[in-house]
Amino acid sequence: MILHLVRHPKPVIEQGICYGRLDVAAENAGAVAERLITELPPGLPVWSSPLRRCRELAALLHPAPRLDERLAEMNFGDWEGRNWDEVPRAELDAWAADVAGFAPPGGESPLILQRRALDFVAGLELPEAVLVTHAGVIRVLLAHWRGLAPNDWTQLVFAYGSRTTVEVRR
C-alpha cells in the first residue's frame, strides 16, 4: 500500500505555545492545496485528522475527505495551550528521560499515539491513499516502519504542508 502522508499547513498560533489537540486554523491552506494537487496522483481517497488545520486542507484536496480521530495529533493534556516555558521543568525532564512512554498530565504518550495511528493504517484496505495529519502522527508511523529507537524519533522532522510518500508492506 502506498501512503502519502501530508502535514498540515502552518498553524495560526503564537510561537512557543504547546498545541497538539488544540484546534487552530492554518495559514495558506489554499496555496498548499494547489501545490499538493500537482504532486499527488489524481482521484485518491483522502483521510484527515478532524482538527481544523488538517480538515481545511483535506477539503481542498478532495470533495469528501473522511475524518478519523486516530489521525489527530498527540494529546498534550494539561500542557495544551500553555507556553512551553510554563510547563514544569520536572515534567519536561521526565519526558526527555522517556521520550516514547511519558504522557503529559491528562494527555497521552507517543507510544499511545503510535498504537492508534498504526491501528488506523491496519484498517486501510486500499492500494493508495492520502492522509492529512500532523508531524507527531507522521513521526511515530515512520519510526515504526523504519525500526527507529524512541530516542531517534525526534530526528524525523517534517515541514508544514509537506508530503512524505511511503510504501507499507503488509
110-163 pLDDT, tens digit per residue, is 999 999 999 999 999 999 999 999 999 999 999 999 999 998 988 999 999 999
Phi then psi dihedrals of residue 24, to 5 deg: -125, 155
Banded pLDDT at 68 (limits 50, 70, 90)? very high
In this prediction, residue 108 carries a pLDDT of 97
Least Cα distance to 77 among 19, 121, 120 occurs for 19
Domain count, the chain: 1
The span from the CA of 23 to the CA of 11, in Å, is: 9
The per-residue pLDDT of the chain, averaged, comes to 96
Please give the residue range of the domain that contains residue 163: 2-167
**What's at 31, amino acid-wise?**
A
Least Cα distance to 135 among 14, 1, 19 occurs for 19
Banded pLDDT at 71 (limits 50, 70, 90)? very high
The span from the CA of 97 to the CA of 116, in Å, is: 23
In this prediction, residue 49 carries a pLDDT of 98
Phi then psi dihedrals of residue 165, to 5 deg: -105, 130
In this prediction, residue 116 carries a pLDDT of 98
CATH classification at residue 43? 3.40.50.1240
| pTM for this predicted structure | 0.95
